[in-house]
Amino acid sequence: MAVGLEHFLILSAVLFSIGLYGALAKRNAVVILMCIEIMLNAVNIAMVAFSRYGHLLTGQVFAIFIMVVAAAEVVVGLALVIAIYRSRETVDVERIDLMKW
């Protein structure tokens, strides 16, 4: 029952597809951002797994950069959500599909 690279990759894939489903199906913008974070985490798992089973630290370096980008993305994303909420009183993506407000 030894755990190998495939296990981690499949776990990563499962996590990613859950995130993907959420990001596509959900209507609340904050939840969509949360699902995107799940997807980024899934990618991170894959990266670190590659790094572990390939004895190459580049994977972890990439994971660090992904975290940085995720942080930046969340900051800007949430700022947008709040800005939209302020003018439209909603964060429902199906109701904020106008290009202008």
Partner 1 sequence: METGIAISFWILAAVMVASALAVVWLRDIFRAALFLVLCFFSVAGVFVILGADFLAAAQVLIYVGAIAVLIIFAIMLTRETQRGSPSGRFRFIAFLVGLLFLVTVTLVVVSTDWHAITEIPAEPTTSSLAQALFSGESGFVLPFEIAAVLLLAAIIGAIVLVRER
36 binds partner 1 (CB under 8 A): no
What DSSP letter does each residue of 47-99 carry, written as one string?
Answer: HHHHHHHHT-THHHHHHHHHHHHHHHHHHHHHHHHHHHHHHHS--BTTT---S
User: Site residues for partner 1, window 80-99 (CB under 8 A)?
Assistant: 80-83, 85, 90-94
What is the rounded distance in angstroms from the CA atom of residue 58 to the CA atom of residue 46? 12
Interface map 41-70 toward partner 1 (x if CB under 8 A): x--xx--xx-xxxxx-xx-xx-xxx-xxxx
Pick one of 1, 98, 99, 101: the residue that binds partner 1 (CB under 8 A): 1
Residue 21 as a binder of partner 1 (CB under 8 A): the answer is: yes
